[in-house]
Structure 1
């Protein structure tokens, strides 16, 4: 199954759906979906509601392998079931979609212009469970706020250090050093980031493969060299706070860069919608993001 997923992620047409809001971002995700904080009284109820939301998305007719190559899950989603199957198994077996797991524990405080990842003290246990649950790959996020070379180097070093542990566990890591779309020196940060990533890619062995998840670059095709690198399975782009229309428009300018959108995927979905309304709204989102990933301006 893993080889089948690998071939599809590498060669297939489509995008990666990001369904991995967690911890502090879960109330925001529910609020955007039309579920206010007074509708749940504790964390357990909150996570039940967010799993209902994700189940509704994953089981929708348009959430299928014609458009979607993979889906990134939060740890609790991985450990829960959809129609009697663990979520990863449901995605793989019923939908033909590769499941990924978010493994980071959030961001550390801002230092040297960046936010590195907090320590992942249970990484080994998490990766073992991911393998038991049929997970194909992982995702972990850092954030770059300023074009400071030392800070960007620290972020990339940390990402690849943990990424190698993930590779050793038999999974494909998605390396995600996000550049804040509001950064005043975003273009410079992206140039420095590309240089640091390239250094690490060149040091990987032939059997060590990674994916990259990056902000849509200011300069179109900035990451072409990374996309073409032999150790890179695929480069995907986050929406980063752009509206779906804006993210799609910017994505189309970048050859072979595909989407891995979260908010831009679910922005028009609401708990109060009928199934017909919900499925129609999701279908519109899925098809537009697919088109932006596959049909390029050039």
Structure 2
């Protein structure tokens, strides 16, 4: 029953997706932004303990709940840990009423044809089974488009949908994320190629298959309207992609029916050194600003 409840929430409720899925190479940077220096931990295990403490503080905050937040994206290490004695995905849904998603990609391959494809995902089938068992609703995987190269853009989107079909077969909802680099000199042109490739792949999906899309905030407002309105698309969410929270919210508010899935813009300004009162107040203000930008 919870899958249907989660699907209805993601499809119909106002709100946004919180991206708490920094992993591997991006974790030290995320911790540093949170005020935890590399000298405060030793090795990968201690680093992941620190990042779980940060995520636990965010997730258990009174400001972080299902009234304004539809879902949260975790990475594998967070999914496998506990919050207040419950698995993280279980805690998110059964305590906070927030739909759990899992980042499943293994990082980016080297750039070729102006894009970075996803690295091979060994053990994906096993990971999807574990995620389903732990109560995860959907997945997320990221590629990056650097320049408007038709062959590269097509390859990225084809790969995303190929893996997306495997995820659908495992009973999970994929968030397909072909990010366009915000610093690309051919961003608008790349977005046109991307939209065409996405629409082509959506048409190939079976009628009963549904996906979500996670896209860079576009240069032209409401550029992804046709994707948002496509019957196979549950929701189109926006990544902040390096824009500040203020810039991300401003761009998002101009794109109707697109909702946020911010990572850096969500945790901007939060610090391990803040008192709980200050931390919770800042997080509450941040969540409210992103929620309002997602309601347009």
How large is the RMSD of aligned CA atoms in angstroms? Answer: 0.4
The number of residue pairs the alignment matches comes to 295
Distance 1:205 1:23 in 2: 35
Q: Which residue of 2 aligns with 1:7?
A: 8
Mapped pair 1:119 → 2:131: no
What's the offset of the Cα at 1:122?
1.0
Distance 2:32 2:194 in 1: 33
Q: Which residue of 2 aligns with 1:43?
A: 44
Q: Which residue of 2 aligns with 1:55?
A: 56
Secondary structure, counterpart of 1:236 in structure 2 = strand
Mapped pair 1:213 → 2:183: no
Distance 1:74 1:32 in 2: 19
Secondary structure, counterpart of 2:209 in structure 1 = coil
Distance 1:130 1:118 in 2: 20
Q: Which residue of 2 aligns with 1:189?
A: 190
Q: Which residue of 1 aligns with 2:250?
A: 249
TM-score (normalised: structure 2): 0.99
Secondary structure, counterpart of 1:95 in structure 2 = coil
What's the offset of the Cα at 1:288?
0.3
CA offsets 1:231-289 (integer angstroms, 9 cap, x no match) = 00000000000000000000011000000000000011000000001001100110000
Map 1:198-237 → 2, pairs under 5 A: 198-237=199-238
Q: Which residue of 1 aligns with 2:68?
A: 67
Distance 2:259 2:253 in 1: 9
Distance 1:215 1:230 in 2: 21
Q: Which residue of 2 aligns with 1:291?
A: 292
What's the offset of the Cα at 1:158?
0.3
CA offsets 1:95-126 (integer angstroms, 9 cap, x no match) = 10100000000000000000000000110110
Secondary structure, counterpart of 1:260 in structure 2 = strand
CA offsets 1:151-203 (integer angstroms, 9 cap, x no match) = 00000000000000000000000000000000011000001000000001011
Distance 1:150 1:89 in 2: 41
Distance 2:208 2:23 in 1: 31
Q: Which residue of 1 aligns with 2:160?
A: 159
Mapped pair 1:240 → 2:241: yes
What's the offset of the Cα at 1:207?
1.2
Mapped pair 1:108 → 2:82: no
Structure 1 stretches of 4+ with a deviation exceeding 3 A read none
Structure 2: unaligned runs, 5 residues or longer:
none
TM-score (normalised: structure 1): 0.99
